[in-house]
Structure 1
Amino acid sequence: MFYPPMYRIWLLLLLGGFVLPGVSGIKIYTPGEVEAVNGTNVRLKCTFSSTHSVSLQTVSVSWNFRPLNSGSEESVFYYQEVPYPPQHGRFKDRAVWSGDISRKDVSITLHEVPPTFNGTYTCQVRNPPDVHGSNGEIVLSVVNKASVSEIGVLAAAVGGACAAILILLGIVVAVRFCRRKHMGNGIELSPREQEWKDPTVW
């Protein structure tokens, strides 16, 4: 009878006890798409969940950038116990930490964004031994003027409908008031008209 070596048994135990449960450990949450007006500040929100306890000493965060016209990535920000803002490149003095590890928030803020910041931002979180999971992505669009949001359009439509209903109600009330006033005058005149038509009255 064949007995596998002990190192194989330990390897299987390690794979079963550590690697497999960590596959779905880290989960990243990002808005997907963000729009910012040229020259303004924008917060790139990224939060996460982990199957292991979170602390300032265990969590590390990497933000990377991939421009629209190039496939090469560029480092934007790094965090491990303390923030490490970029010391060179397009994001120097533009990227600042705005997260809170205790709340599992690893967001950053970009200051005075120019059109060259258009592209995809990747948020990567590691919390050993929980190091597995997909990264979060945000597509940033820097525009010259803020586009009208769907909520704004909906609010304008609802406001216009309410105004139209109020105007119609005002018209209906005015018409009914005029009719009642006219009918009242007619009731006051009807006995006199009846007096002339009644042949028994002399």
Structure 2
Amino acid sequence: PCTQPTAGTRGVGTFVPSRCALLGSGVCKALSLEIKASPKVQAFLGEQVSLQCSFKSSSPITESLTVDWTYRPLTGGQMESIFHYQSVPYPTTVGKFKDRISWVGNVAKGDASIAIQSPVMSDNGTFICSVKNPPDVYHNIPQTMLIVTERGNWLSGVGDRVVRERGRRARSPHAAGLERGVPGGAERGLGSPMPRCLRPVPLEKEQGPMASSCLPSGLCLTPRGAPAVPRARALVYSSLRDPC
């Protein structure tokens, strides 16, 4: 719905239904801005993340245009102002986001985006982008949920590299043949046929006591975090009881 801020909040805080919402969507569309923002953004611990916000106004951009970003923690509580823009950016100088908010937008292009430096998990919460370009002051209120997590670090960090390779590295012909159970695989010294794994599985279940793990990409890992090797080689090494 179209909304306008309550008196004295300068676009931050509580919002109530606007007059245009009561008059009908046609009137509202003629008077309001349209704001778009990503509903959910995932960030990684310590790595800069951008919160995208774009807008369209029916009026020319002037120096009266303002941009406000507000934040509510995931645990709940009051909304707090973390950024204000009017001709120049005014990032917050207090609170948890002090010295961590930067302006990456361009109002001439309808961009009101900001960036957060060194995000931490306690930053998780809801962010709201609000734009006013008088006389256009009525607009929708899109919300962005920020989720900060650690990057995957399983198997000494090798797993993250392998997962990235899954989408771009083709399996070796020998490994693919083994997964399909091609006859003659054992005679070529590649071990017995192995079904395609849908998740990392211990190789020892198929090939004896070795504790390597294979992924659908055709790469195998060792419990010590050694470099990944093609599955075909892992099967050979397993048959020789030699860690891959």
Indicate the TM-score class for this superposition, using the shorter chain for normalisation: 0.5 to 0.7
Instruction: Report if the CA contact (8 A) 1:64-1:77 is conserved.
Output: yes
- Out of 34, 45, 49, the residue aligned to residue 27 of structure 1 is 34
Look up the match of 2:81: 75
Give 1:81 deviation, angstroms.
1.2
The amino acid across from 1:28 in the alignment is I
The amino acid across from 1:73 in the alignment is M
Q: 1:164 to 1:28 in 2, by over 3 A?
A: farther
Matches within 5 A, 1:174-193: none
Matches within 5 A, 1:34-53: 34-53=41-60
The amino acid across from 2:58 in the alignment is T
CA RMSD of the aligned region, Å? 3.0
Runs of 4+ in 1 over 4 A off after TM superposition: 21-24, 152-155
The amino acid across from 1:132 in the alignment is Y
Give 1:108 deviation, angstroms.
0.5
- Out of 132, 137, 156, the residue aligned to residue 166 of structure 2 is 156
Determine if the alignment matches structure 1 residue 95 to structure 2 residue 95.
no
Greater strand fraction, Structure 1 or Structure 2: 2
3-state SS in 2 of match to 1:102: helix
Larger Rg: 1
Give 1:37 deviation, angstroms.
0.8
Give 1:113 deviation, angstroms.
0.6
* Post-superposition CA distance 1:7-47 (Å, at most 9, x none): xxxxxxxxx9xx93556621111121111111111111101
3-state SS in 1 of match to 2:122: helix
* Post-superposition CA distance 1:126-175 (Å, at most 9, x none): 1110111112211100001169xxxx9798357537x559x77xxxxxxx
Q: 1:159 to 1:127 in 2, by over 3 A?
A: same
Q: 1:164 to 1:137 in 2, by over 3 A?
A: farther
- TM-score normalised to the size of structure 2? 0.53
* Post-superposition CA distance 1:89-142 (Å, at most 9, x none): 011101111111111101001000111110010000011101111122111000
For residues 121 and 32 of structure 1, the distance between their equivalents in structure 2, rounded to whole angstroms, comes to 10
Determine if the alignment matches structure 1 residue 131 to structure 2 residue 137.
yes
3-state SS in 2 of match to 1:123: strand
The amino acid across from 1:37 in the alignment is F
- Structure 2 residue runs of 5 or longer lacking an equivalent are 1-22, 154-161, 178-244
* Post-superposition CA distance 1:55-75 (Å, at most 9, x none): 3x0210110001111131111
Matches within 5 A, 1:9-20: 20=27
- TM-score normalised to the size of structure 1? 0.63
